[in-house]
Structure 1
Amino acid sequence: MVLSTEIDIRDYDTKVDGGLPLEKLLTPNPELRAMIESMQVGRKWLFTNAGENHARRVIRVLGLEGLFHGMTYCNYLEPQFVCKPDRKSFTKAMREAGVEDQDPSLCFFADDSAPNVDMAAKMGWTAVHVMDKFKDPSTAGQYQIESLVDLQTVLPQFWR
């Protein structure tokens, strides 16, 4: 008998992420899609703590396919994978997005996790906390909004 500690990612996807009924939990978001489509920025990049297959499923179910130049995700097969809010994950995202050697203030970040938003701000990014209006007020990042579609109100320079 041979025992292996390696994870078969297909098995993981099927039993864990792939087992989630996303189609019952999420619905397409045309308003979000229109907002992202109308952004006047150089690159739109996704940065998630999800695995690649799960992230792609969420994008598909929300109707956001084709809007992004790429994605930084967690590769659970890497022995020492990094995820937000670890500083190394932000450095990885900059490298993968092709902005590693540029001014970090050129990076804009929106997230619903205050620790993630705070790390983005520490990295020199413009950071926006997407927060639940029913929770305590947030001081994370430079801006706080209740929904991603509200991004236009705090970063109007990206819309005409």
Structure 2
Amino acid sequence: MVFEDLYMQGQRPKYDCLLFDLDDTLYPLSSGLATSCRTNIEDYMVEKLGIDKSKIHDLCNILYKNYGTTMAGLRAIGYDFDYDEYHSFVHGRLPYENLKPDPVLRSLLLNLPYRRVIFTNADKVHAAKVLSKLGLEDCFEGIVCFETLNPTHKSTVSDDEDDIEFVGSRTFAATNNGSSSEIFDIIGHFAQPIVGLGLPKSPIVCKPSEAAIEQALKVANIDPQRTLFFEDSVRNIQAGKRVGLQTVLIGTSQRVKGADYALESIHNIREAIPELWEADRKSEVAAYSGNVAVETSVTA
């Protein structure tokens, strides 16, 4: 029995789940959706939040860098808005027609003998539309998206342990209507830092926060030690690595710190990680071995 147990352990696949980012991972950056999304975010900030157009470029860069998404950053510094309205504005005008069915990727995914889950910062409507356009809507077990990690519109900064924590010793209090008593001047903060004044934290949970990744793994019942994480973002890859995931950086063949693999395109997965298909062969060998009769000697 000991030999049999060791043998079966040796046949066990290295992974039991593949976790995929969505945008610019399952389709190329050249599709133009990312560029259009950035433009829509900037338009929203000007048209809906009344932010001075001359500050938009710098503000977007700072918020994205420090909060994971511009949306999370906007909420952190004091802007209150409806999440669904924001997503509708930002994603509703994207050139989805640029995305075409991808039968090659579909075949690759369906032939991978593992759980397959999407993990995106985007909302569920956008995720469903992208997967539909790519012809991949039935290739995944489920989707961990914005609504999964942010199930309600939290109008105030919460002390809940699941919220994203950011470095800083002081935050701004929110008023009853959800808007800060003043908008935190984050551009000025970085131009002339004040000792002891840290960044306000965001009520929005999203990558690359390790807490967000851990929460996603918990929700989807995923063991990080037996999961391969596909992402186009270096910082998301590195955050995933810190929580125990094996990682694949998409969009470049140059490996960076935190990436176990680097692929120019998701289509290169079979050539770059052939071990993913070895699970099928091992299971076939195990099944065959289990049917082989073993002759034993019996004494009277």
- Class of the TM-score when normalised by the shorter of the 2 chains: 0.7 to 0.9
Matched, 1:89 2:192: no
Preserved contact between residue 131 and residue 138 of structure 1 (Cα < 8 Å): no
The 5 Å alignment of 1:23-102 reads 23=97, 25-41=98-114, 43-75=115-147, 78-79=153-154, 80-99=203-222, 102=223
Count of matched residue positions in the alignment of Structure 1 and Structure 2: 147
Displacement of 1:158 in angstroms is 2.4
Preserved contact between residue 118 and residue 143 of structure 2 (Cα < 8 Å): yes
Change (3 A) 1:132 1:78: farther
Displacement of 1:87 in angstroms is 0.3
Q: TM-score, normalised by structure 2?
A: 0.45
Partner of 2:94: 20
Q: TM-score, normalised by structure 1?
A: 0.82
CA distance in 1, matches of 2:110, 2:228: 16
Displacement of 1:6 in angstroms is 4.9
CA distance in 1, matches of 2:94, 2:251: 24
Preserved contact between residue 131 and residue 145 of structure 1 (Cα < 8 Å): yes
CA distance in 2, matches of 1:45, 1:147: 18
Change (3 A) 1:131 1:6: closer
Once the two structures are superposed, what CA deviation does each residue of 1:46-103 show, in whole Å capped at 9, x if it has no partner? 011111111111111111011111111123654322111110121122112112xx4x
Change (3 A) 1:6 1:115: closer
Displacement of 1:13 in angstroms is 4.4
Partner of 2:255: 138
Displacement of 1:153 in angstroms is 2.8
Once the two structures are superposed, what CA deviation does each residue of 1:84-136 show, in whole Å capped at 9, x if it has no partner? 1110121122112112xx4x211110111111111111111110101246xxx
Greater helix fraction, Structure 1 or Structure 2: 2
Change (3 A) 1:78 1:156: farther
Higher relative CO (Cα under 8 Å, sequence separation at least 6) belongs to: 2
Change (3 A) 1:27 1:142: same
Matched, 1:157 2:275: yes
Larger radius of gyration: 2
